[in-house]
Amino acid sequence: MDEMSPTPRPQFERLLPVQEDALKEVFNIGSGQAATTLAEALGVKVLVSVPAIGISPVEEVLSSLAKPATPVVSLVNIFAGDISGCTVWLMPGDQAKDFAHLCWHHMPQSRKRAEFDFGRIHREISDCLTGAYLNTVENMLGLMTVPSTPMLMSGVMRAVLEKILSERSQGTGAVAFVQNKFTMGEKPHSHVGFFMMVPDFDSLKRMLEILKVAEY
């Protein structure tokens, strides 16, 4: 009987502080530009958290979810080019439709369609955020990327993220990620969404090499 092949190990099992700091400098700019672009596109106030950056086993990411059974709406955008990976826009289901209605009412008349289109609005959000992050990577690191058309997914949070992250782990059981929390609108009627960028490990290595922090 043939022996089972061992599970591949990720090229990086963790990020060193100097590597986290270098990536955080890039994605602080990316998330700030994303918030500004989103606010202009949707006509609402947008606040963004400091990016969380790391490498974790998929199971550890899933176990850390505060409300794993929460229904969510998610948009997945796979990108390729000099680096590859995916971005994920995720919003609790009980907020997603209300927020889409809010955005639709605030959109400039020149861009508003006569009929409300839930999926189109969330795809626009995903495109906006993905474009801002990838433009920052291109401008700061000189890397070309090509995003795809976002794919709409829905279900409970754990199941949705497990499917997305497992597919991106490349058989290693782990993922590298950048995550931001976006708060949109004014309290007490604000809405919260989460955006993740999940680069492949080869792409992470290339970014660290360009930032001159690949080997420490």
pLDDT tens readout for residues 64-82: 887 889 999 999 999 999 9
pLDDT tens readout for residues 146-169: 999 999 999 999 999 999 999 998
What's the maximum distance between 2 C-alpha atoms anywhere in the chain? 67
pLDDT tens readout for residues 71-118: 999 999 999 999 999 999 999 998 888 888 877 777 665 455 656 778
Its pTM surpasses 0.95:
no
Looking from the CA of 11 toward its CB, the CA atoms found within 13 Å total 13
149 and 136 Cβ atoms separated by less than 8 Å: no
Residue 110 and residue 108: Cα distance in Å, rounded?
Answer: 5
Q: What is the pLDDT of residue 109?
A: 54
Domains of the chain as residue ranges with CATH: 17-210 (3.40.1550.10)
58-61-64-66 Cα dihedral, nearest 10 degrees:
-110
43 pLDDT band, cuts 50/70/90, is: confident
